[in-house]
Chains A and B, each alone.
Chain A
Amino acid sequence: MSLTLSKRLSLKRFIKGETAHQPVIELNHRRIFILPSRAGLSLALVIVLMLVASINYNNSMGFIFTFLLAAAAQASTFYSYKNLSGLAISLAKTPASFAGSIGHLNISVKELGERERFVIKASHLNQLTTFNLKKDLSLLIRLPVKLKKRGWYTPETITLSTQFPFGFFRAWSPLLFKQSILISPQAIDAGVPLPFSKHDEEAGGSASNQSGADDFAGLKPYQQGQNYRQINWKALAAEKGLYSNEFSAEQSANVWLDWQSCDQLTVEEKISQLSFWVLNCEERGVEYGLRLPNMELLPNHGSSHQHACLKELALYGQS
């Protein structure tokens, strides 16, 4: 793909990077830029001083070593470049991440150039990690990222940079991926009891457990986002840790998680509550269905079902 001159010279390319059209970006001369680092600028000063001394004393050996140092600095630019070029970078699958938490960008780096790579820094926003890479290997880099909103999240520019070998120059490559990561809604239990729709009763679920808060069935480790009313305070007082009470209602086989059942909440609160239920039901092995104003997912369980539910919730109202 060729670039127009204005694109070629635009500042955005140097700082933010070209948007990638392929999921895997192979670093090459078009994406790698190089400029002297701060240490490189001080080196320039040192070289000038050495040159002045050599001129002043008309010293041949002084000239030789001054020029040798300058030439070595020049030659090092190729090695900075080679340290980055021939790496294939892609965004790897990220584990389920929830809004409001610290998630991780997983970046896959594959070595294609049959060279060992040294001290490459990968940075995204203010997060930074440094890695080495043996030849012909690939590596998964995790960069923590603060996730604020549910829905699709497109990472900002990921910059790979290196000052190898001498620290005189910094070679960098800004990468802007098109792919997005799905951020699930924050799971918060607003305290609405698990709804049991008519479907349930028709299917002959245990009606006695409708309220969901009746029969104490045991203790479970506390789950993030659970309502504080479910915390077993006795256990906490006995310094056993955070446990939540489990009630027999939640052991029923088939649950509809319904938008309608949390009427008094705002939209975001509803979504958080539903997400919490999804996680909760999945954890217990309960078959659950999701009913949103515009769609319905039939009761099921398993990670792909959970994922589908969370995706619907994440994208609700975001088209």
Chain B
Amino acid sequence: MQATPLQPVLIKLLIAIGALLITPHIGELKPSFIAIGFGLLAWRLLTLWFPRALPNKWLLLPLAVGLVLFVSKTFGMSLGRDASSSLLIVLMGLKLLESKSARDAQAVIYMGFFMLITPFLFDQRIELAIYAFGVFFMLLFALVINTSQTNTLKNIPLLRLSSIVLLQSIPLMLVFFLLFPRMIGPLWAMPDDSSAVSGISDSINPGQVSNLALSDTTAFRVLFNGRAPAQKDLYWRGPVFWETDGKSWSLTPPRKAAFKRASPIPKSADDYQYTLMMEPHQQFWLYALDTPINAPNKARLTHDHQLILHKKLRRNIAFQIRSSTQVHFQQLSNDDRQRALKLPDNLDPRINAQVTKWSQHSASNKDIINKALTFYNQEFFYTLKPPSLHKNPVAEFLFETKRGFCGHFATSFATLMRVANIPARLVGGYQGGVFNKVGGFYNIRQADAHVWVEVWLEKTGWTRIDPTAAISPERIEHSIDASLQRVNGDVSFLITPPDGLRKWAQQLTWMVHSIDYYWQNTVLAYGPEKQLDFLSKFGILDWGDMVLWLATLSGLILLISICAILIFKKDTLDPVQKSYLVLCKKLAKKAGERQQYETTSDYFKRAIQHHPEQAEALKSLQLLYLKTRYGGAAEQVFIKKALNFSLR
């Protein structure tokens, strides 16, 4: 490509594309880089009206070096997700400032294509995919504008061409998407630059869970094969907390110490089987319907019925899990008993006094538990905006504020139990979920995050006790309506809406969630496992097969498109010529074919000899034809006459 100058309209288009490419990064990358990116674009835009503001290379070079140094200083030498995205934003802005020729523009567009996929490293929502598809089209169009040196964007043939190319490339893209062998794991270790993901974390303090109640984002989705349990039985079990320091509960000491395998639970016909689509939450644990009895691939089932993944979950994966809601008695080892009774050092004396009051008049542990639950039921309030707690949260909550959320109830209840010498542990997870009638699956949101307690009883072993249910049974019967939470702390629950408009709104929400579910489940989760699983249905079992089929199918697509171009060629004859040939065919019956050396006049003369009765008609046809050939306006008349002509 020679140094053809850039059309201002192309520069404007590239600036617009640049802005559209940076926009999805707002909120993901450091604001300074977003600002630098937009700043460089704005600078380039200004130079369209003030060409003297265009930087020369003595300004540009130090600027480039400085900005790149800034990036490397911020992120270090490792080129991870954040670093490469930021670097691309900066480089694209600089390249655009420096662009003078069509070749520079080509480079800017190439950078744009790379930048297009960087937002997906943060988030792969369907909206973002549609957005990126639009930007991809704009990039293609910019390429066409650049190559054809067009000076306007309102070029319909070029717009049409770009969209046709885009549509035509979809089949080949799909073949590659399905068949290109996916590799497991990264090619090299990447810096751990995961942004904070909401959800249950590896330590629980009373106030934490209430923050989640405002979040409508999906934690995971569950599709039951067959029947599903009742809403109140949907306890999604996550990490199990044994250790507390009086303020919070945590997963320390190192989780590997707790990695005893679970004692096997026999399968039964009452088990629930389901597929759980987990959103990447950057944690080691997996959630499952209480109690999971088998471990899916890539996970193991521990002694305390946690599902622990081999690696932190960084992408959408579907798990096949089997759970039983029945009680399974389990012996308690001395080791575990000690852990489950361990109390924090600085226990408030009021707690001891309270527990002693209950245990004096109780025949069994069960009585103590019931008394405690009654205590909660009578004196406590369920609210999302509890008063803040300070030094000794459990005692302050139990005897002073008495207002709280599941985190408060569960942590305080577990402490009470341990004081009463009943082994207790805390379970983090989710409760309930919104059933999507359109997609037939449960959507478990962050708002469904929940914490409850398990106590060990002589007869039943580890038994779930949910103090929240004692205070606010609605919480267990219905899910929280995150969209209706108010600042004053009143909790709203999802109850079937009575009237038309809200019902419609609910239908719409279900629909959107269903689309999102299938998007996650089919497109985003299409990784190495799902690919093998999907392709094995077609008898494609390994890499060799995949490559073979990839080559065959893409070859086939190419062949079809070549054939389409060569066979369905447009008729290049003009209508006059076509009707002339029709006429000649009619005459050829008697007069014979027109010879190569014969002119039209010669041929008509010969034809008239064969059809003397039609002499007049033929002569006028001949004249008309010659007239059309020499630029007359007689085309329509000739076509009509030639086609109507008949030799009776």
Contacts and interface: CB of A to CB of B under 8 A. Distances in A.
B147 A60 contact: no
A50 interface: yes
Contacts of A118: 147-148, 158
B182 interface: yes
Nearest to A42: B110
Contact of B177 (A52, A64, A164): A64
Contact of B169 (A43, A75, A114, A164): A75
Interface in B455-497: none
A34 to B, nearest CB: 12
A303 interface: no
A285 interface: no
A199 B382 CA distance: 132
A286 to B, nearest CB: 38
Interface stretch (A65-73, A210-218, A239-247, A288-296): A65-73
Nearest to A28: B566
Interface string B554-578: 0000100110011000101000000
Given A67-B172, A81-B565, A114-B572, A62 B148 contact: no
Contacts of A37: 1
A58 B182 contact: yes
A165 B143 CA distance: 7
Given A56-B188, A72-B169, A79-B165, A119 B147 contact: yes
A63 B110 contact: no
A70 to B, nearest CB: 7
Contact of B116 (A38, A65, A119, A164): A65
Contacts of B60: none
Contacts of B149: 119
A165 B113 contact: no
A166 B148 contact: no
Best-buried of B136, B172, B173, B526 by chain A (most CB within 10 Å) = B173
B165 A72 contact: yes
A59 B176 contact: no
Contacts, number: 160
A75 B561 contact: yes
Interface stretch (B27-35, B117-125, B226-234): B117-125
B166 interface: yes
The prevalent SS among residues of B at the interface is: helix
B144 interface: yes
B1 A163 contact: yes
A298 interface: no
Interface in A14-59: 29, 37-39, 42-43, 46, 49-50, 52-59
A248 interface: no
A165 B165 CA distance: 10
A167 B146 contact: yes
A114 B573 CA distance: 10
Contacts of B566: 29
A50 B116 CA distance: 10
The prevalent SS among residues of A at the interface is: helix
Given A43-B110, A71-B169, A72-B166, A163 B182 contact: no
A42 B129 CA distance: 25
Interface string B145-187: 0111100000001100110011011111100110010111111
B140 interface: yes
Contact of A167 (B106, B183, B314): B106
B190 interface: yes
A163 B157 CA distance: 17
A62 B140 contact: no
Interface string B179-223: 010111111101000000000000000000000000000000000
B251 interface: no
B129 to A, nearest CB: 6
A268 interface: no
B523 interface: yes
Contacts of A81: 565
Interface in B75-133: 81, 84, 102-103, 106-107, 110, 113-114, 116-117, 120-121, 124, 128-129, 132
Contact of A55 (B128, B187, B524, B558): B187
B180 A46 contact: no
A45 to B, nearest CB: 9
B315 interface: yes
A57 B177 contact: no
Interface string B384-417: 0000000000000000000000000000000000
B117 A116 contact: no
A68 B117 contact: no
A63 B171 CA distance: 14
A71 B147 contact: no
A71 B170 contact: yes
A46 B109 CA distance: 11
A46 to B, nearest CB: 5
Nearest to A38: B1
Given A71-B173, A75-B169, A60 B187 contact: no
Contacts of B117: 50, 53-54, 59, 61-62, 65-66
Given A49-B114, A65-B132, A165 B147 contact: yes
B147 A50 contact: no
A69 B565 CA distance: 21
Interface in A231-270: none
Nearest to A54: B117
B184 to A, nearest CB: 8
Interface in A100-147: 112-114, 116, 118-119, 132
Given A39-B106, A72-B169, A119-B148, A67 B572 contact: no
Contacts of B128: 61
B527 interface: yes
Given A113-B570, A119-B147, A164-B147, A57 B124 contact: no
A59 B172 contact: no
B1 A39 contact: yes
**Smallest CB-CB A-B distances: 8 pairs:** A71-B169, A71-B172, A61-B120, A67-B176, A72-B169, A67-B173, A166-B143, A62-B117
Interface of B: 1, 81, 84, 102-103, 106-107, 110, 113-114, 116-117, 120-121, 124, 128-129, 132, 136, 140, 143-144, 146-149, 157-158, 161-162, 165-166, 168-173, 176-177, 180, 182-188, 190, 314-315, 523-528, 558, 561-562, 565-566, 570, 572
Interface of A: 29, 37-39, 42-43, 46, 49-50, 52-72, 74-76, 78-79, 81-82, 86, 112-114, 116, 118-119, 132, 163-167
30 contacts: A53-B84, A53-B114, A56-B186, A57-B121, A57-B190, A58-B182, A58-B186, A59-B117, A60-B524, A60-B527, A61-B129, A63-B176, A65-B120, A65-B136, A67-B172, A68-B166, A68-B170, A69-B113, A71-B169, A71-B173, A72-B166, A78-B562, A82-B565, A113-B570, A113-B572, A118-B158, A119-B149, A165-B161, A166-B144, A167-B147
Given A50-B117, A59-B315, A60-B525, 19 more contacts: A39-B103, A53-B84, A53-B121, A55-B183, A55-B187, A56-B187, A56-B188, A58-B315, A58-B528, A60-B124, A60-B526, A61-B129, A63-B176, A65-B120, A70-B172, A71-B173, A75-B172, A76-B165, A78-B561
